[in-house]
Structure 1
Amino acid sequence: MSRWLILLCSLVLISGCAAYATHQFDVVFGEQDPAHRVGDVSEEDAAFYKEQVKPILDSRCVSCHACYDAPCQLKFTASGGIERGGSKELVYDGTRLLASSPTRLFIDGKTTEDWRKKGFHPVLNEREQSPSANLQGSLLYRAIALRKRQGSFTQPVLSDDYDFSLARDQQCVSIEEYPQFEQDYPNWGMPYGLPALNANEYDVLTRWLAKGGKMPKAEALPEALQQQVTLWESRLNSDNLKGQLISRYIYEHLYLYSLYLDGGEAYRFQLVRSRTPSGEAIDRIATRRPYDDPGVDHVYYRLWLDPEVKVQKNHIPMQLDEARYKRWMSYFYDEDYSVTKDPGYDVKVATNPFKAFREIPAHARYRFLLDHSQKTIMAFIKGPVCRGQVAVNVINEQFWVYFIDPEVVYNKGSADYLEDQVQDLDLPAVGSSNTLNPASWIGFSEQQKSYLSAKAALFQSEAGKTVPIDLDLIWDGDGSNKNAALTIFRHFDNASVVKGMVGQQPKTAWVIDYPLLERIHYLLVAGFDVYGNVGHQLVTRLYMDFLRMEGEMNFLLLLPKEDRESIRKYWYRDANETIKNYIFSDYIKIDRQTQIAYETNDHQSELYEKLRKKLARVLDHNYDLEQSKLTDDQRKALYRLQAKRGGGLVFLPNVVTVLVTKQGVPMEVISLIHNKAHANISSLLDEEAARLPAEDGITLAKGVLGDYPNALMQVEEGELIDWANQVAMLKTQKDYSALLDSFGIRRTHPNFWFVSDAIANLNRQDRPRESGILDYNRLENR
């Protein structure tokens, strides 16, 4: 029998078994229909859900089931996600040749019936509503019951039966297929590869599910908060062309943000496009990208109450208050200008912000982005592009970011000149989500070369020579804005961005100007489609190489011109000839000497310290160990550890989150970040070949830094110095295993949930607005 015939027979057999299982469920419990779950929720049931059930779902389920990379697209972040259920389709798929249809919760489907038509299966019982049917027909109950039957772990490291890789084959079975799944994967109950729920948690969820898994509807907003919503919606929906274009610009940059209108944490909003005006129910416009044609004559910008629990990996908080509104008005209205036409949504215009928003002065746009520059960069880190090695191996492990001062460079003449140049800079989204020819990046490369050449000519022209190449070129946050200096950490396949110059001096740094900042946003945030095909994703990644190198070149301008080429060569050791030809070509060189007076031979190190001094008033120190409750001796031990390079550091995971306790009582959280060194980061596929473990370093920070811990540890404060010494003395993989034996809270550890909860509580206390539930999909098993 041929291989294809065997496959066909197998498919027929499987589908036949599924049909039989469905029939059996239908016979016993009636036919599936989401309408069976529709009904009033009593005050008693609502209180039970909010006070007892939801805290368990948030603390035990959301850590793995949130955002685009939730296994089986099953999201426990809101009742709508639970009602939607799971899907066999992958969101992150780096091999698909054609873009897939988006399945964004609350956007691409409005009802449970919508999601069933899109292939999502229920995880709660949608048949006859009885205690027996509600339990036997609930995937959620069957999954926690399977984990309970498995019992406690009997070994510290789980066997190879468990697959924790992000690329694992997901078993996204429906309730009809679950009996077979239980036989095939008896250890795959939920929480998967983690300690089971305790007796009380299991009892609470069982009682809730037996009664039908009832979840109350969202409560009405307090009147004072509703008035704030109305006020902001009136501000964002002007009846004149100028106001409409400004609001469109604001929306296209803030659509991923969590917006707060009061001082509390209970209510978060998202800025959305709606077919309906303020005062009516929001009719959300669902498009792939925020600048796609909305298909209506008039777009209304509305504040939609976000029902999802805060998840740190995609949480970008912003406070909307009067101070911010006054700043926005000063940016967009202080200068006298007119908007003469609506740019429309033609793809050639909408994908290029320099065309779409040409009539808004560049200075105003740049000021708006600088006001919250950490969030502007964070959207690239925490937006849909965030997951995956290919997405973030375009950046170094740790580097500092500074910004060009808008008052120095963005005068009318230079701004208009740069605008003329970037008009011709197409971004990959111009090719839609189905880029079939990855080689199209060559065309983007030629456009980028032309732009950089024009920019170099500007700096060397008589007009350009009025722009100083010294520390005055760098924005100082206007003396009060802590967004002036940022630190970006890459953790292999994800990343973090924080304020301040955190950690030791990095190998590279960026200086970002307005055209670069805007292109980063429209490349990796507004223009990136996580549902796009492999060509779209590859071209996006390749284009980001240009933007990284441009930021690095801007930084090198501050160094003596005789240093620039040698430092570039050090940054790009062993890079291929194509990259070298691009980096060292004459057309992107600016032959002007820095005006900074250097006093040492280590110019790059000296420049970092000069920048630290210039920005001293606005540097954020929240991650400094000096802000912790540790003693001087303990901090000194950690700083000695941070000074170590290479050796056994190679065995450390990317992010270690350490709970420091005092006689068992949670006291502090310390983050250990493994910064992996590379000869260069210009290779798309063979990253390991560029690794330089002997140059690895680490950063130690107060609090939670990194949204995806790879390992948890618990250290008594009296043993903290011993812990630091043991990390510093690592030499082998066996040494790291011994470290985990002493201090590790492995997946199997009986105190896992205690440590997890303690870290969450301290994180919330440290950073009430920025914190959220951490993601455990990258926890190691070693």
Structure 2
Amino acid sequence: MKRLQRKISTKQWALMALSAILLLALFAYTTQQPQHVMPDEPAVAELTPSSLRLDEPAAFEQQIKPVLERRCVVCHGCYDAPCQLKLSSIAGLQRGASKERIYEPKRITAMQPTRLFIDAKNSAQWRSLGFSAVLNEGQKNPQSNLENSVLYHLLRLKKQHPQPGMRKLPKSFSLELNRKQSCPTLKTVGAFAQKHPLWGMPYAMPNLSEPEYQTLVSWLAQGSPTPPPPSPSSVVVPQLEEWERFLNQPSKKQRLVSRYLYEHLFHAHIHFAESATREFYRLVRSTTPPGTAIDEMATTLPYGDPGAAPFYYRLLKYEPSIVAKSHIVYEFSAARMQRYRELFLTPDYTVEQLPSYAPEIASNPFKVFAAIPALSRYRFLLDEAHFFIEGFIKGPVCRGQIALDVIEDQFWVMFFDPNQPIITNSAQFIGEMADALKVPADGGSNLELIRIWTDYWKGQRRYMERKQAWFKTIGTHDLGHAMNFIWDGDGTNPNAALTVFRHFDSGSVAYGLVGKNPDTAWVIDYPLFERIHYLLVAGFNVFGNISHRLSTRVYMDFLRMEGEDYFLAFLPANRRKAIRDTWYVGQRDTIDELFSAPQEWL
């Protein structure tokens, strides 16, 4: 019996050894293969429609959009989409591709804005702006629909030369953010394929599955049919009509309030109460009144001059796929409208004259909206502080180095109580300091950068000196008393405390004070909150020149330092300077030397 067991054991060892040898041989074979095998005869990928499903039109929403969202939108869904080819909507496919990069770090002059749905309304207008087609725009039949589609040729290229299945990608792939882009047209796509056989779509990603490939190619062969955009749902229609009536009331008071709301919500994905989870709208300015088709005005910034002709605030259905980078949700409901009435319309104030849209005025909210009580404006921001902080973490920046390079990887955010009698809650003080509180506006000139030293920093210093002179008058308090100056959300609002997380050029905002104690924290008052929004959201032009980007970057340092210094004021006086010194090392130390804030209070 023991001899039999030894015999079985010997066989088992022999099998194990043989298996190991086979595995080693397989591993040696695969690792010795080149990273990409270029066979003499590439894998067959149909160019004729005979093998495609053409008997019934592909449903874009049910069949095509899910494939694009799974495999394409993560790279082609924001301003940094390669070649500006946005695959998050059919409008992006119809617009096509452009060689001009939005994130061009050395751009001397501002570029023509190319916002989808806004800056051009049809394919012909996009062609005049330098975009080339990726879908067939010639004779419509299955063969031509494929032969004349750049998108098809790039999908087919990947099919012919599949992604290497083992080891790292070849060095021929470039994945840097600021890499040189290749944007082939129908005339150049053949030469592109010869030069870069591995660069089919999805670029640097695994091949589409066979069903995914067949689905997209069949749709292209059919002429890329698309249904008309869906109409607002029955739940939304009455709410939408009520909101458009509310926003377009003719009184000067209402018109100023609507302007304030628009300039703070233009970037929101608005969700109506009780509507479908994925149904969103944008608040826009339109040349057409409620009840008619919307014709969105294409000003570069939300406070851009709309001209002398009448315009209307409208709610436009948001069509593209939802991507985390730009998805900032704000809810409209009956309770929200009532809150707006309480904040902005019930208070007794008069608007004698509507403010100008001249750039030097329009870019300064402390001048434009001076008639609206400062407390109402601050309360409006506090009600949904998460939304507004998320605005500069996401918002129009999209690739977020401009906003996010100046912040820490984790920090906490709290707010001054609007009911406390502090100087920055005073409408009189804010009015007196309105000129000092202006933020860099995109004037299109590279001389704007010089004004950081000659104008904006001097204004910031004057403002801080006035504040600090007042804070000296209230003396030092124990922590229990000092905490009364921190807003507690009126006991119910979770927006009272927030945590910001950053990972390189992406960020997120969480409710509450999350995680371990961070190195820094911000305490924000109304003037600081409003300037953050107008610097990084309402006033940030992603198509602007290098001066605009650098001015924005440096001024954001001013605002960060201001919020952090407020936080220091709540710490023991004998610890403040030592703690602050730990913050200002490396790049931060350079900023502190260039723009030294008054520090006597430390």
The answer, yes or no, to whether TM exceeds 0.5 is yes
Which range, TM-score by smaller chain?
0.7 to 0.9
Could you tell me which of 489, 502, 513 is aligned with 1:501? 513
- Equivalent residue for 2:229? 218
**1:589-608 residue pairs with structure 2 within 5 A?**
589-590=600-601
- The equivalent of 1:259 in structure 2 is 270
Distance 1:565 1:542 in 2: 23
The residue aligned with 2:290 is 278
Aligned to 2:598: 585
Percent sequence identity is 44
Matched residue SS, 2:450: helix
The one of 491, 494, 519 equivalent to 1:479 is 491
Asked whether the equivalents of residues 434 and 532 of structure 1 are also in contact (C-alpha less than 8 Å), the reply is: no
For residues 544-588 of structure 1, the C-alpha deviation after alignment (integer angstroms, 9 at most, x for no partner) is: 1110000001101111122111111111135546614744634xx
Structure 2 residue 373 is the aligned partner of structure 1 residue 329: no
**Cα–Cα, structure 1 residues 432 and 164, in superposed 2: closer, same or farther, change >3 Å?**
same
User: Could you report, residue by residue, the CA deviation over 1:354-397 in whole angstroms, capped at 9, with x for unpaired residues?
Assistant: 00000001100000011111111111111222415354211111
Identify the range of structure 1 (109-118 vs 417-426) with the bigger mean alpha-carbon deviation. 417-426
Q: Secondary structure at the match of 1:407?
A: coil
Match of 1:60 among 71, 74, 91: 71
Which residue of structure 1 aligns with residue 214 of structure 2? 203
RMSD: 2.3
Take 1:464 and 1:255, find their aligned partners in 2: how far apart are those partners? Answer: 42
Give the alignment of 1:703-722 within 5 angstroms: none
Alpha-carbon shift at residue 412 of structure 1 (Å): 10
Change (3 A) 1:416 1:211: same
Matching of residue 106 in structure 1 with residue 117 in structure 2: yes
> Which SS does the other structure have where 2:282 is aligned?
strand
1:51 to 2:62 alignment? yes
Equivalent of 2:534, from 512, 517, 522?
522
Is 1:306 the counterpart of 2:313? The answer is no
Distance 1:271 1:49, change over 3 A: same
**Cross-structure match for 1:137:** 148
1:120 paired to 2:127 = no
Deviation string 1:587-628 (CA, Å, 9 cap, x unpaired) is xx447xxxxxxxxxxxxxxxxxxxxxxxxxxxxxxxxxxxxx
Per-residue deviation, residues 486-527 of structure 1 (Å, max 9, x unmatched): 111221223222222222110000000000000000011111
Q: Deviations over 1:432-452 (max 9, x none)?
A: 133335232112111100001
CA distance in 2, matches of 1:127, 1:421: 60
Displacement of 1:265: 2.3
Counterpart of 1:237 in structure 2: which amino acid? N
Q: Which moved more, 1:370-379 or 1:295-304?
A: 295-304
Give the counterpart letter for 1:427 in structure 2: V
8 Å contact 1:85–1:122 — kept in the other structure? Answer: yes
2:433 corresponds to 1:405: no
Give the residue type in structure 2 aligned to 1:133.
S
| 2:562 aligned with 1:533 | no
* Per-residue deviation, 1:192: 0.9
1:219 is displaced (CA, Å) by 2.7
Taking structure 2 as the reference length, what is the TM-score of the superposition?
A: 0.87
Secondary structure of 2:157's counterpart equals helix
Counterpart contact for 1:511–1:551, Cα < 8 Å: yes
Distance 1:302 1:90 in 2: 31
CA distance 1:148–1:409, change in 2 (3 Å): farther
The 1:264/1:339 distance shift into structure 2, 3 A limit, reads same
Which residue is equivalent to 2:502? Answer: 490
Deviates more, 1:106-115 or 1:261-270: 261-270
For residues 122-167 of structure 1, what are the alpha-carbon distances to aligned partners after superposition, in whole Å with 9 as ceiling and x for unaligned?
Answer: 1111111121111111111111111111225232311111111111
Cα displacement (A) at 1:44:
5.5
Query: Unaligned 5+ residue runs, structure 1?
Result: 1-41, 592-782
**Counterparts in 2 of 1:91 and 1:454: CA distance versus 1, 3 Å:** same
The separation in 2 between residues aligned to 1:388 and 1:256, in whole angstroms, is: 15
Question: Which secondary structure state, in structure 1, belongs to the residue aligned with residue 579 of structure 2?
Answer: helix
2:255 paired with 1:240: no
Superposition map of 1:22-37 within 5 A = none
Match of 1:74 among 85, 102, 105: 85
- Return the letter of the residue paired with 2:508: S
Amino acid aligned to 1:379: G
> For 1:366, which of 360, 364, 378 is the aligned residue?
378
Q: Indicate conservation of the 8 Å contact 1:386/1:495, yes or no.
A: no
Between the two proteins, the alignment pairs up a number of residues equal to 546
Aligned to 2:556: 544
Structure 2 residue identity aligned to 1:308? P
Select the residue among 524, 527, 530 that pairs with 1:512: 524
The change in CA–CA distance for 1:463 and 1:240 in structure 2 (over 3 A counts) is: farther
For 1:748-763, list aligned pairs within 5 A.
none
Superposition pairs of residues 5-24 of structure 1, within 5 angstroms: none
Query: Quick one: distance in 1 between partners of 2:250 and 2:65?
Result: 42
Is this contact kept in 2: 1:469–1:557, CA < 8 A? no
User: Aligned equivalents of 1:282 and 1:463: distance in 2?
Assistant: 56
Distance 1:391 1:266, change over 3 A: closer
User: Could you say which residue in structure 2 is the equivalent of 1:347?
Assistant: 359
1:584/1:228 CA distance change after superposition, 3 Å: closer
Inter-CA distance 580–223: structure 2 relative to 1 (3 Å threshold)? same
For residues 765-776 of structure 1, what are the structure 2 equivalents within 5 Å? none
Equivalent residue, structure 1, for 2:105: 94
User: For residue 466 of structure 2, what is the aligned residue in structure 1?
Assistant: 454
Q: Secondary structure at the match of 1:259?
A: strand
